[in-house]
Amino acid sequence: MKYSFKLEGVIELDNDMNPGMRLSVTPEVKPPTAALPPSIPSIPSKLSNPDHIRLEDFNSWNQAINQHGKILVLEPKKEYAIEGYQSAEPKLKAIVGHDANLVFGKGPQSIFSIDSDGLDFGTVGVNFLQRADTKIKPATNTKILFRTNHLTVKTGKLAMIGSKAPDDSRLTVQLAWAFSGTNGGDDGLLHIIGKDLRCNGPDFMNLKANAGGGLYCTLINVTLNNPDTFNPNEIGVEGYITGDRFHITSDHLVSDVLSHYGYQNGNIRTLLHIGRFVFNINDRAVISDKEIRLFSETDPSYTAINRNTFGCRLDLQPGDVTTLGRIISKQLSVVYGWEYKTDTGIELPSGSIQILQAAFTLSGLQKAFLIYKGNSFIGSYAKDLYLNEQSKFGDWQIIIGAKYGHTSYNHSYIGGYWENLRHGGMYRQSDPEPQPIGSPCPLTIQNCKGLDGYTDRWGNFIRSQFKPAKSSTERLHPDAAQFISYLEDISFKTQNR
């Protein structure tokens, strides 16, 4: 009796690395005279290269990335949910995916923490995403693919190639938070490489030269999408007022505007905006993640700033009648908490203030904004456009504020090669203090857009702090070029495995 066999196209790898194929039996066109065997048992298969491993063959992501010298090959277009991961230095050579998705959920901010000097590691064709239900808020901390130890890492090559968001709304993982640590490159360079990327979110990279000028950044064919939706200044919420309490009833938390600065730290402020009224949010005001105490400040002391203006920590409102007169306007103050203007002259340089008649009478169900104010005041872009009795709920001059962080932040002593970069969001470049030792590499800019600033949703132009490139003719560093070729060659060889 004769049988023909066909491959189902299933390639597997068991823990014992046994070769084989899963087969199914198909009879010839003429039926056999005897019954077919019940089945042919499947034999575990393996990848063609013993250096290649699969994520499916390990108990966890943490175990897989600790395989020394291996190449982790992900199934094409497959999505992997990575939860409960640890931030660790990979022992792998590379991760190859062919448009596979790695979706990182619960776990630390840094996916890979690099502590070893001279480490070469990269990813090709892997889309690094955050969970679709990740909460977007003003103090969003996106996950970081590479974070380097500034005390131990001086050289190496870290690359993300061919990582793309499936659409403009999906939050991705930022490339790197890296620090240089060499004497002007005399001991070699630390290469941070991004190629063929389409990334979404408020952060992409932070590169610093505090310890020397030996960090080299390569960006080729990179598009960064950072609209206000990824890094808003405000969150619209709903809740109800009972007495001096605001209870949030919508799917939001007070801590959605909490950053690593805290609720209030110098010129970093968080506010509650209801109707035309504004209240300070600080530790004393936060009763729980769903409840804010209005008028939480109890210190009635004031200090006269000029004849009609005084500083005070109480949450007064325009229209309040006080012992210093009627409150005309309200403005943030780093020194006093708030600055208030009155309709009468202030006779004493200091003292205590009392409210004779309150303007705030809201109660019941209300819409409100939780606002993050970074380095900005009320009416930052218009003189004397402070909070007053004519202000309305949601006025832009109340909401507007500097963004939490920047899409990209580089020290000017970091060199590199940037070609076909489309930068959305804020780009900042500054000089580190003190000035690092050694001469930095030049930064070459070829066909790049979006580095000269951006315009916010209200049409206000926010100038970036970009400084002109030191060179526009230098070619890509050969070490970066060779590492890109090496990774892309690995990807090509695994495409038809």
- From the list 125, 103, 116, the residue with the least C-alpha distance to 68 is 116
Same domain, 289 and 313: yes
Calculate mean pLDDT across residues 243-257.
95
pLDDT at 34: 39
Do 6 and 115 have their domain in common?
A: no
Write down the pLDDT at residue 43. 32
pLDDT tens digits, one per residue of 224-244: 998 778 888 899 999 999 999
Mean pLDDT over residues 396-420, rounded? 86
Strand partners, 178: 207
Q: Of 335, 366, 399, which residue constitutes the final position of a domain?
A: 399
Structure tokens at 480: 């970066």
Q: Mean pLDDT over all residues of the chain?
A: 85
> Looking at 46, 66, 81, which one is the last position of a domain?
46
Whether 242 and 377 share a structural domain: yes
- Please report the pLDDT score of residue 135 as a whole number: 85
CB atoms within 10 A of CB 129: 23
Shared domain check, 245 and 145: no
Mean pLDDT of 352-359: 97
More confident residue, 188 or 314: 314
Average pLDDT over residues 58-62: 93
Residues 381, 308 within the same domain: yes
Q: What pLDDT, in 10s, does the model give residues 107-139?
A: 999 999 999 999 999 999 999 999 999 888 887
Q: Which domain holds residue 371?
A: 234-399
Question: Which range (65-79, 288-302, 464-478) has the least confidence?
Answer: 464-478
Q: pLDDT of 367-399, one tens digit each? A: 999 999 887 788 865 566 689 999 999 998 898
Query: Taking 50 as the threshold, does the pLDDT of residue 41 lie above it?
Result: no
Same domain membership, residue 133 and residue 111: yes
CA 492 and chain centroid, separation: 31
∠ Cα 112 194 439 (to 5°): 95
Q: What average pLDDT does the segment 39-48 reach?
A: 42
Based on the domain organization, do 366 and 474 belong to the same domain? no
332, 364, 399 - which closes a domain: 399
* pLDDT at 37 > cutoff 90: no
Q: Is residue 16 part of a domain?
A: yes
Top pLDDT among 212 and 183 is at 212
429 forms beta bridges with: 410
454 and 392 share one domain: no
Render pLDDT for 176-185 as a digit per residue (tens, 0 to 9). Answer: 999 886 655 5
Q: Looking at the structure, do residues 152 and 176 belong to the same domain, yes or no?
A: yes
Percentage of residues in the chain having pLDDT higher than 90: 62
Structure tokens at 393: 């709920």
Q: Which of 384, 343, 468, 489 is nearest to 418 (CA)?
A: 468
Residue 167 lies inside a defined structural domain of this protein = yes
Query: Does residue 6 have a pLDDT over 50?
Result: no
Residue 21 has pLDDT above 70, yes or no: no
pLDDT of amino acid 381: 57
Whether 318 has a pLDDT exceeding 90, the answer reads: yes
Going 489 to 495 to 496 to 497, the CA torsion angle's sign is: positive
Are residues 200 and 312 located together in one domain of the fold?
Answer: no
Per the structure, the count of domains in the chain is 3
The answer as to whether 51 is a domain residue is no
Q: Strand 71-73 and strand 52-53: pairing?
A: parallel
pLDDT at 241: 98
| Section 75-104 average pLDDT | 96
Is residue 415 domain-resident? yes
Q: What is the pLDDT of residue 12?
A: 37
Side chain identity at 150, as an amino acid letter?
Answer: H
Indicate whether 207 and 346 sit together in one domain. no
Are 64 and 35 in the same domain?
no
What gap in Å lies between CA 471 and CA 318, rounded to an integer?
54
Residue 199 within a domain: yes
CA distance 161 to 89: 18
Give 430's pLDDT tier (boundaries 50, 70, 90): confident
